[in-house]
Amino acid sequence: MSHVYEAPVASLDDALVQAVEAAGAHRLEGYEAAQPEFTRPVLEAAARFAAQVLSPLNRVGDAQPACRAERGVRSPPGFVDAYRRFCADGWVGLGAPQEFGGQGLPLAIEAAVTEMWAGANFGFATCPELASGALEALHRYGSAQLREGYAARIASGEWTAAMALTEPQAGSDLSLLRCRATPDGAAWRLTGRKLYISWGDHDLTDNIVHFVLARTPDAPPGLNGISLFLVPKRWQDAGGEWVDNDLQALSVEHKMGLRASPTCLMAYGERDGARGWLIGERNAGLACMFTLMNRMRLGVGLHSLGLSERALQLARAHARERIQGRGPDGMPCALIQHADVRRMLLTMKALTHASRGLAYTAAATLDVARLASPAAERARAGQRAELLTPLVKAWCSDVAVEVASLGVQIHGGSGYIDDMEISQVYRDARIGPIFEGTNYIQAQDLLGRKVLRDGGVGLREFVTVIRHAAAELPATDSQGLQALRNGLLEGGERLLAVAGALCAGAQERERIGTSAHHFLNWLGLLAGGWQWALSARRACATSGDAAAQAVLDTADFYATHLLPRMSAHEAAIRDGWSSLHRARPEQI
């Protein structure tokens, strides 16, 4: 049984309003496009496209995945036509700079639409996702010639982009890259192989612009010797003729999930070298690539959020339709009447809403970091965005796996069968914690770089914002709001105390490594509670409204069922690190 994905437009709209205010983006000049009277038509149009075009192809892409063909890689049936309609409707360039032919809308709006694409068809959504980061990289680091030749075509969707980092021997350790780039006049010739390249080859467009990390002949070893190159599938010679470049997809991976998206092993320069052009300065490629990477990490969080919403929709529909067991009156009843099923559904709902608010707030914060007028405000927003990015990528993707797993559980035995879409959602969601730097890497980045490096200053400012939102919850007789207020106030205070202790012992690398996972998840739960506090405060202003009461009830559930998880993470950081430190590899 399958249900068409239906974007919860009203919830997305409310989350946008909340995120824009929480990030301070509503004060930005020219940010009127994020007002509800403008965003609602955009969201409604995207919702129609997601439901009518993308959702029907979701199961098709899983059953008939992308594969190698005689001439390159063939996408699943229906994807070519869907992509052409996607481009014709202007969705690729939604947030692209107007100078590149895009619409220049706020990233926060683009975030909400990105969630819909993934909820409707995750495999399709991963194709246009890189355009935003690619355009930013060209805008910041590309030469005028590269911007003129490639930016507008990427913004329109005429050409797609692909990011080529990982190599068979290197994995996440980019310091071990071997791909080589040798000078060739104004261009370069690249040789090497890259794997796990999403949409590295396909038939949706006739050109694909690869952003490739490689070393030049005189590059120093390690991370400081990496440069970034633009390597198109086809390039135009001096006579205006289009020439096939020396690159090809050697194979397409057979994956656990995300089967519609071709994950390619790419070969560059197997004949005479793949022609490419330097982006940014030589040996500064890692900084350039992180412009793309950070956008992709936000994208992973948003895609994971879309999968959480999809799992919730499928599980809720099944729980309402499936007659199983008997109610208090002894009569047969729907699954949703059983207390534990409601617990699972409320867990899914509470975590999905928290993820949505957090991811949208991160996007709006990036808008502030880019557009705010005072330099000091841009710097503060940039610092906050650096804190939020690994949190959104890792916590939201872990949430998606938990939510999808609960969705399978609610379906029972049928959820384990491929005939049910929830099984695909679960398999698809599992890539999120691995994509674009594993979640342990994100946790190390959050604690080791974003918290310890500045002595916890940025963290204290963020937690102060969370605690302030908790303190502003209206005084009511609701025990749930009291639990939410107390949980956020106390949880924030304890987190800062633990962070202070970790800062004092920052030289103990093993302790930082064993604490990072728990620290990130503790902060994620706290930040999710912050989102519920903001939602509850708004709901309290709407008396007698059933929807508002549902918000308050679910906020109560988050406070009493999910915030207590913080204590387990605290205990693991305070008391559990020594046992992990003592465990030797040969003993495990």
Q: Is residue 205 part of a domain?
A: yes
Q: Is residue 125 part of a domain?
A: no
DSSP 83: H
Distance CA 44, CA 99 (A): 26
Last residue of a domain, one of 286, 301, 329: 286
pLDDT, tens only, 354-408: 999 999 999 999 999 999 988 999 999 999 999 999 999 999 999 999 999 999 9
Percent of the chain with pLDDT over 90: 84
Q: Please report whether residue 277 resides in a domain.
A: yes
What's the total number of domains in the chain?
2
Which two tokens mark 93?
Answer: 């360039």
User: pLDDT per residue over 262-280, tens digit each?
Assistant: 999 999 999 999 999 999 9
> Nearest-CA neighbor of 197 among 435, 438, 442, 394?
435
- CATH number of the domain encompassing residue 254: 2.40.110.20
CA nearest neighbour of 480 among 536, 405, 543: 536
Q: Has residue 323 been placed in a domain? A: no
pLDDT of residue 555: 96
Res 2: pLDDT: 63
Residue 127 has pLDDT above 60, yes or no: yes
Per DSSP, what are the bridge partners of residue 192?
268
Catalytic residue (choose from 386, 436, 510, 586): 436
Whats the size of the chain, residue-wise?
A: 588
Domain of 525 in residue numbering reads as 439-582
The model's pLDDT over 412-427, given as tens digits with 9 standing for 90+, comes to 999 999 999 999 999 9
Per-residue pLDDT, averaged over 549-578, amounts to 94
| DSSP 8-state assignment for residue 419 | T
Domain annotation covers residue 204: yes
Query: Count of alpha carbons within 13 Å of 202, Cβ hemisphere only?
Result: 30
Place 1 in a pLDDT band, splitting at 50, 70 and 90.
Answer: low
- Give the residue from 242, 268, 286 where a domain finishes: 286
Known catalytic residue at 436? yes
Residue 18 has pLDDT above 90, yes or no: yes
Q: Is 578 exposed, middle or buried (0-12, 13-18, 19+ CB in 10 A)?
A: exposed
Q: Give 588's pLDDT tier (boundaries 50, 70, 90).
A: confident
**Within a domain: 332:** no
End-to-end distance of the chain based on CA atoms, in angstroms? 43
Cβ within 8 Å of residue 27, ≥6 positions away: none
Domain contains 575: yes
Q: Which residues, 6+ apart, have CB-to-CB distance to 125 below 8 Å?
A: 54, 114, 117, 118, 303, 306
Among 286, 311, 334, the domain boundary falls at 286
In 412-432, which residue ranges form alpha helices assigned H by DSSP?
421-429
180-220 pLDDT, tens digit each: 999 999 999 999 999 999 999 999 999 999 999 999 999 99
